Amino acid sequence: MRSRIGEVSTSYRWAVASRVVAAVFGGYVLAALASVCIAWLLPMARGEAVVSAMMLSFLVYLVAVLWCFASHSASRAWVGLAIPGLVLAALAGLLHWQHLP
């Protein structure tokens, strides 16, 4: 019985590796930014808001990982993480700037 491992192209392997990197690191960054923004925006005590935002960030991470492997191409996966990441980074910066003394 022959192994089919040698039949997979190098470009396919790089595309899968790129999706894995996008899912692991891009998803983490997206979840962290979402956690910061949600914590700032929740109308409750700061400690409760942070814990609630951290719990919600696990859902954001799950959706990011699912998006990376459900998207049509690796570049679409990266763009699908970059656009919300930039929006959340801008929102986090704006919220931080508004709350400065």
**Domain ranges within the chain, ordered by starting residue:** 5-98
pLDDT at residue 23 in the model: 97
> Phi and psi at residue 4, in whole multiples of 5°?
-95, 10
Instruction: Convert the pLDDT of each residue in 74-97 to its tens digit.
Output: 999 999 999 999 999 999 999 999
The rounded distance, in Å, linking the Cα atoms of 81 and 94 is 20
- Neighbour-count burial of 57, counting CB atoms closer than 10 A to its CB (0-12 exposed, 13-18 middle, 19+ buried): buried
Give the type of residue at 81: L
Q: What is the pTM of this model?
A: 0.86
> Phi and psi at residue 68, in whole multiples of 5°?
-60, -40
